Amino acid sequence: MMTGKKLFAIVGGVAVPLMASVLLALAQQQSDTPNNPFARDPAAPAAGRALFNATCVACHGQDATGGRGPALNTGTFTHGNSDYDLFQVIKGGIAGTQMPNFSTLPSDDIWRLVTYIKSLSNGAPAGGGAAPVVASGNAAAGEALFFGAGNCTNCHEINGRGGILAPDLSAEGQRAPNLIRSGITHTPVGGRGFRGPTARALNIVMKDGRKISGITRAEDSFTVDLQLKDGTYALLDAANIASRENAGPTTPPNTLTPKQIDDIAAFLATQKQRDFSQTAKVTPAPVLPYERILKPEAKNWPTYWGDYHGHHFSALTQINKQNVSKVAARWAAPLLGESILEGTPLVVDGIMYASGSPGEVYALDAKSGMILWTFKRKQDIKNPYQINPFNRGVAVLDGRVFVGTLDDNLIALDAHTGRELWEKRVADTMLGYTLTGAPLAIKDKIIVGVATGEAGIRGWIQAFDPANGNSLWRFDTVPAPGEKGNETWAGDSWKYGGVGVWLTANYDAETNSIIVGTGQPVPDYNADLRKGDNLFSDCVISLDADTGKLKWYYQDTPNDPHDWDSVQDIVLADQVIDGKMRKLVLHADRNGFFYVLDRTNGKFIFAKPFVRQTWNLGFDANGKPIVDPKSFATPQGQVVFPAVGGTNFQAPSYDAKTKIFYLEYGDSQGFAVSAPAVNEPGKEYLGRGTGTPPPGPPAQQGVAAIDTTTGKVLWKFPLTQGSLQAGVVATAGGVVFASSSEGRFIALDGKTGKPLWNFRTGQRISASPISYSVDGVQYVAVASANTIFSFALPK
């Protein structure tokens, strides 16, 4: 939109200024977008229809009304509504789905197909020729009817006003007038169907006498999932249902006069998009209040790490060492998209909330894996040098679900429906920023860190108001001149120092502290370009949750030349040391050391290597590592242990009762080679050279158990393939579940490391498992490739 001489973006119906580089890139990408050469050709729809019937009808149905593939006659498309969006989908296909590419089809034919598909929703006959239907009626009168005597809001909503049982109509005006009218009357248009509700209202009587009424959100021969009028769900086993009957249509009886229908249609035609300035005012019914996260129930998995203290441990005992060999797969839910799943799902009262490919969020029945709702948002803008196209999870607080996107939007969804409530652009993706980590939800804040990848930019962690997305505070992880720590950066290297915060923080409610690990400095491998300790890179930091002010820090790897981020889980634990109960931080770092710190002040207590290491000659009196100069990256290269890291962002697990810390490790030789580097906006700033390393010992990898009172490694279970993503979860049943890049999901004896059970998913696992329970049954779930699997004991 052009307003005066400034460019603005329409966000929630409000014009707001965009970041300059985002605007420039967006304008460039729009100028490069081809136009449909057949958009105004009266013969194109008929020609496109013939192509459609020969090529597409088998999946998308006669007249594109839907079949194995989605209906294409609605005017609204998952992967973009422009002609060029459709062209790209047809030509390139959709990865991970049954939509193949038609790259061999001539471009002119693809454009004719696009023209035909678009004609189905513009009011013209399928063969083309007639003009679209023009909206008539009184919009003001239609608005009064919609929100009043028409009873439309019993089921539908517009911008947060109304019910949630039928489709949201906030953007209904994007559809053609004839289709808007057909939606009101629930009558087909030209034999091509209409966008009516696919859900049905049911009155159910259970075998125990309970009566339940609601709208179906998922249903098959074994499961019926109903959404009740208050937004909650009833997740029912069909075997427990005594009777069910249709409660009639999900819309009120059609008592509207033709003029009233025209008026409502005219009003709906003015609704072009969801207005976040209005939906942000909505307060959804609570799903997970702060108090329940603070004191989590064993049945739930309420945060990315399982609890605020980062234990990633399940107190459930139904599955134990004696019966785990009987565990079987209960369900598998494919979340198909453009990237594999690296996320950790949450579970709240039988509902699983999971992120899929970036920009996608799902709510699933955690008993059956059936999908209750889906949210998908296409990137506004894509950095051509974008790396790490993954999302690692969501947060839930009260009635909202929070997620970040690759183009740096923090988004709040209604947990009951998946409908968007607000979004805030946090950073500028054209400079290299992305949001890949799961947010942290505390009492009155959503805590988000930005990923900087390997770009020459400055990272930060930020707090937002969960109700509206307003910024509350921000802590920059690379201090500016005059701030504590800036003196540890030579010259102006602080300006492009990196130090992202790309994994989820933890929270110490007793001291009201956010405790989190930070990323590496850049350029990653040429430390000569940024001489000094480079604070606050590779640190564990504690921040005041109310203000974002730094309380303390401990740096694991000063002047890191190896890309050894310290973002790994920060476990908060209480243990007796020298006869005194101490509040501790337990942290297995990528540099190969297991650290124990005092979490009240960050003071070093001890650290022990859990893999081979050659970079550290010991610690000084203050706990600062004494770095061996022979480990630094040089143009000629030097051998160093560990290589890419002793562990990475995959979840460890801490058993507070046994004081054992479980993790997946990698133990191999690295070769540190530096090279000159020039920082270019939005690109990787590495300073990494090439060279031939000398022969070294074989790499080792697997699962390990560490005694946190001594740092001693108790046992190791070897794996044939290493991973920087696959993690573990330990349970009170004495079982450690470990995912692996082999595609095996493994159960180990927590005391000995002995294998007890395994399941081959047939796909690489790049995520960490969780455990939860529904209706008294314990499940263990993990994502493998694009599919979430859930396991339990036999019924």
Active site residues: 563
E strands in 117-178: 157-158, 161-162
Rounded to the nearest 10 degrees, how much is the dihedral formed by the CA atoms of 49, 51, 54, 55? -110
- Cβ-in-10-Å burial (0-12, 13-18, 19+) of 622 comes to exposed
H/E segment holding residue 242: strand 241-246
Per residue, what are the HEC states of 10-45? EECCEEEECCHHHHHHHHHHHHCCCCCCCCCCCCHH
Per-position DSSP letters for 566-620, written without gaps between them = --S--EEEEEEETTEEEEEEEEE-TTSEEEEEETTT--EEEEEESS---SEEEE-
Q: How far apart are CA 48 and CA 116, in angstroms?
A: 5
Listed in sequence order, the residues at least 6 apart from 149 whose beta carbon sits closer than 8 Å to its beta carbon are: none
Listed in sequence order, the residues at least 6 apart from 449 whose beta carbon sits closer than 8 Å to its beta carbon are: 437, 459, 460, 461, 462, 500, 501, 502, 503, 505, 516
CA-to-CA separations, 44 to 109, 116, 119, 127, 179, in angstroms, rounded? 9, 7, 10, 9, 21
Q: Which residues pair with 241 in a beta bridge?
A: 206
H helical segments located in 656-792: none
Per residue, what are the HEC states of 343-410? CCCEEECCEEEEECCCCEEEEEECCCCCEEEEEECCCCCCCCCCCCCCCCCCEEEECEEEEECCCCEE
Helix, strand, coil percent values for the chain (each to nearest 5): 15, 30, 55
Q: How far apart are CA 748 and CA 757, in angstroms?
A: 7
- φ, ψ of residue 131 to 5 degrees: the values are -75, 150
Cis peptide leading into 718, omega within 30 of 0? no
Q: Strand 14-17: give its sheet, edge to edge.
A: 2-3, 6-11, 14-17
Q: How far apart are CA 500 and CA 521, in angstroms?
A: 9
Query: In the structure encoding, which two tokens stand for residue 130, read together?
Result: 């007639």
Pick the closest to residue 423 from 392, 446, 393 (CA basis): 446
- Cβ-in-10-Å burial (0-12, 13-18, 19+) of 147 comes to middle
Is the CB of residue 203 less than 8 Å from the CB of residue 220? no
| Neighbour tally for 499: CB within 10 Å | 28
Is the CB of residue 113 less than 8 Å from the CB of residue 141? no
Query: In the structure encoding, which two tokens stand for residue 27, read together?
Result: 């304008």
Is the CB of residue 366 less than 8 Å from the CB of residue 775? no
Tokens 């297995």 sit on residue: 588
Q: Which residues pair with 542 in a beta bridge?
A: 515, 552
CA angle 365, 370, 374 (to 5 degrees): 90
CA-to-CA separations, 730 to 112, 304, 666, 757, in angstroms, rounded? 56, 15, 19, 14
**b/e per residue, 284-307, with b = 16+ CB within 10 A?**
beebbebebbeebeebbbbbbbbb
CA distance between the termini of the chain: 58
CA angle 675, 679, 685 (to 5 degrees): 55
Amino acid at 140: A
